[in-house]
Amino acid sequence: MVLGIDASRAVTTERTGTEAYSLYLIRALIEPAAAAGIKLRLYFNQPTPPGLFAAAPHIEQVIIPLPRLWTHLRLAQELHRRPPDIFFTPAHVIPLTYRGRALATIHDLGYHYFPQAHPLSQRLYLHWSTQHNARRASHILADSQATKNDLIHVYKTTPEKVTVVYPALPSGSEQLAVSREQLLAHSPTRKLANSPYFLYLGTLQPRKNLVRLVDAFVQSGVSHHLVLAGRVGWLAQELLAFIKQQPVSVQGRIHLPGYVSEAEKADLLRGAAALLYPSLYEGFGFPILEAQAAGIPVLCANSSSLPEAAGDGALLVDPLDTAGMAAAIYRLANEAPLCQDLVERGYANVKRFSWEDAAAKIIAILQQRLLLV
């Protein structure tokens, strides 16, 4: 069997959750695919960095660059010229003209619940591409039960067509090794000295609920700093304006370092007092697992998929209840036993997720479902 995979998102330099998903899942599929006699044909829209994926006899890398409309023109042409037995898109859309068997991952339907968080053109494309994948795919992978439920509710997808396959963190050899010298040279927290700080990781956009987070941080009365690490996204002006409205003494304790590299993120996680992640909607929530693996307490919203990802290793809050969030932040700053308990539960929770398990489920789907379509 030849499994063709759209690997274009895996080569992205500044990775967000879906790009990381694509990279680590493809890496995890390499060994079990070989054992199952499956050849992997990886499609790229640009040359790949050395060592991105292991070289092996059952892996073929197809580099087919095109500046615009790569998926529906260049990739579609390649799939027509040499069709794989099954095509898999882990982080994008199935080409319009492809008629073969297909597997697609749908990460979330956030645009449906929070349309104001996206430009109109992006919202229309997300609706079209998700609906297209839901209808066109022979089978669908969902990051969470919450996303599966959304697909059933919004697009009337049959439950049998969707399998929940949880993402995970990079395993052992894939974890980024960072030297002390690198951390000292590049750390976004070097200006904080020994000041305790809370951390948020992710794009700065309305869906992430950051205005309420800053408001709750101020209301909590804690003396900690707050680091909001991530690139400035669509409609972040309200957040930036709200921060400027705060007293100078508060503004000085709120830091926006922008997008952070993997090395910088590792440093931020190591030094944080807790991760604050009250997002209104997520398909999964990688930062929760990253924080739990780093041994810091987690506060997250009790909505969408976040309770699934957090397990019992997080302090759950109503993301619309600013006062309740402020009280939870105060507890994290002042209750050491609570924090230690969350850390221990977080370590246990992370063990529930692995890319090896995800890859094994996908191989089983390929063998037991898609070959019979």
pTM for the model stands at 0.88
Rounded mean pLDDT of the chain? 91
Q: What is the pLDDT of residue 38?
A: 96
Is pLDDT at 234 greater than 90 in this prediction?
Answer: no
Give pLDDT tens digits for 17-64: 788 899 999 999 999 999 999 999 999 999 998 888 988 999 999 999
How far is CA 13 from each of CA 8, 42, 112, 268, 272, rounded to the nearest angstrom?
Answer: 11, 18, 28, 19, 25
Is pLDDT at 85 greater than 50 in this prediction?
Answer: yes
Give pLDDT tens digits for 239-259: 999 999 999 999 999 999 999
Is pLDDT at 356 greater than 50 in this prediction?
Answer: yes
Helices (H), the chain: 17-35, 76-81, 110-113, 120-136, 145-155, 180-186, 210-220, 237-244, 248-251, 262-271, 286-294, 306-310, 322-334, 336-350, 355-368
Which of 174, 93, 170, 181 is closest to 137 using CA atoms? 93
Taken in order 252, 254, 260, 266, the sign of the CA dihedral is positive
Tell me the two tokens of residue 160: 């049998």
Give the whole-angstrom CA distance, residue 116 versus residue 209: 13
Write down all domains in the chain, each with its CATH number in brackets. 2-168+354-372 (3.40.50.2000), 172-350 (3.40.50.2000)
